[in-house]
Amino acid sequence: MVEERNDHSNGEVRTFADVKERMSNSIQRNKGKLIVTLIVVGVLLLGGIVKLFNYSSTPGFCISFCHEMKPEYRTWKKSVHAEHEVECHSCHYEQGFIGTLKAKWAAQNTVFSHMFGSYLENTLEKAKKDKVFLEVQNIHQQGDRLFYIKTNEHGVKIINTNCKRCHHDVIEKEGEGLVSEARGVRMAHRVHIEEQGLECTDCHINIVHGEEPLKRNLPKMRICFRCHNKDDSEAKLGQTNCQNCHIAQKAMWAGKSGYGVPTVTSEMYGATECIDCHTPENNFKKPQNVEVCLECHEEDIVTQYNKWKDDLKVTRLKLQERMNTVEEKIAYAKKNKKKPEQRASIEEAEKIFLEARENLMVVNRDGSNGVHNNEYALGLLKVSRKKLQDVIKILP
């Protein structure tokens, strides 16, 4: 029996074979157009998938769909990593396309947890069991409920691998006999990583996601004392000789740093130890009460110390403003003064400026606002101010 189709538009009766033949002919006639259309659709579809794939690796995507990530985004946004456009995948993914795919697959668990409302809810007891350091981790508390993000061991390994991938120069430099120094603290990274078997995150906890990420680059003393508070003599070096690492404070105490200032040694240098004032009971922070001072000094010393700090802080901030102005003048001169004799004057002025800035940095790195060695700190700032005046005179 022949299947028929009644076409009411013109009264004709056509078989399905006729319809099939017409369609086939139409496809053959428009084959080129059809191929082009399929290619365009395919390219657009592939482009959309790639765009979505890349977008799903950005911080913006994380907070668009997961409110749990908002604290992490907020702290990342304030960090140095954000300033240098280091995004989530740079730290949390294994490198390469396969690593990215693995991270996407693992993220499905997070999606399900988010959808079913079980994401990251824990008790305080669970946090302690997971060995979460409450003072440095992002703990989000809502009533009696506790939320925190704890990266698993595999994730921590990936993070540390990426740390060393970007900051490889730190260990390589130390392999050449140099030691890293940041903000007046000396640190032998190679010894801790290669010889002691520590990882970056053992000391630099929440370097990006802490509440004050810009201050998290240097580990707190309590982190150092997880190891440097043991009974063996080698570990105790960190406790009994703070100046092994805190070279900025040592330089201020000894009065031997900067440019153009004669040596002025603090009366405390050699007479006391760091931990006499920065006590273990106070987590080695700056003294929070006068009792520590009064163990050695008369009561009026507290007033004297406070005056030193206040006066030097004002002097230091004013000098910083002046230094910013002079630096702008040097930049203007370098851009607009092209004659050889002018260039020579600019180079001389820039050399003096760097000496002035180093004097200020010696005081800044010490961080005590003159308490460690007030006379020497004021001397450094005075010479720095004089050098800035010389720079202005020399600039063409």
Residue 142 region by backbone torsions, left for phi larger than 0, else alpha for psi between -120 and 50, else beta: beta
The model's pTM is 0.63
Q: Please, which pLDDT band fits residue 377 given cuts at 50, 70 and 90? A: very high
Q: Which residues contact 198 (CB under 8 A, 6 or more apart)?
A: 192
Both tokens of 370, joined, read 């003159």
Instruction: Evaluate if residue 214 carries a pLDDT over 60.
Output: no
CA–CA distance, 253 with 250 (Å, rounded to integer): 5
Does 268 fall in a domain? no
Q: How many domains does the chain have?
A: 2
Q: Work out the average pLDDT over 10-35.
A: 67
Does 130 fall in a domain? no
CA–CA distance, 114 with 105 (Å, rounded to integer): 15
Does 217 fall in a domain? no
Does 373 fall in a domain? yes
Q: 251 near 243, Cβ under 8 Å?
A: no
Which of 146-150, 229-233, 295-299, 373-377: highest mean pLDDT?
373-377
Q: Please, which pLDDT band fits residue 68 given cuts at 50, 70 and 90? A: low
Q: 194 near 171, Cβ under 8 Å?
A: yes
Q: Please, which pLDDT band fits residue 125 given cuts at 50, 70 and 90? A: low
Does 66 fall in a domain? no
For residue 351, the model assigns a pLDDT of 94
Give whole-number Cα distances, 155 to 106, 194, 199, 213, in Å.
Answer: 11, 20, 13, 20
Output the domain CATH number for residue 363: 1.20.140.10
**For 329-339, how does the pLDDT look when each residue is reduced to its tens digit (9 = 90+)?**
999 998 888 88
**Cα dihedral 367→372→376→377 (10° resolution):** 20
CA–CA distance, 84 with 76 (Å, rounded to integer): 11
Instruction: Evaluate if residue 159 carries a pLDDT over 70.
Output: yes
**For 246-275, how does the pLDDT look when each residue is reduced to its tens digit (9 = 90+)?**
888 888 989 988 899 999 898 888 778 887
Does 350 fall in a domain? yes
Does 258 fall in a domain? no
Does 354 fall in a domain? yes
Q: 13 near 20, Cβ under 8 Å?
A: no
Q: Which residues form the domain of 23?
A: 18-55
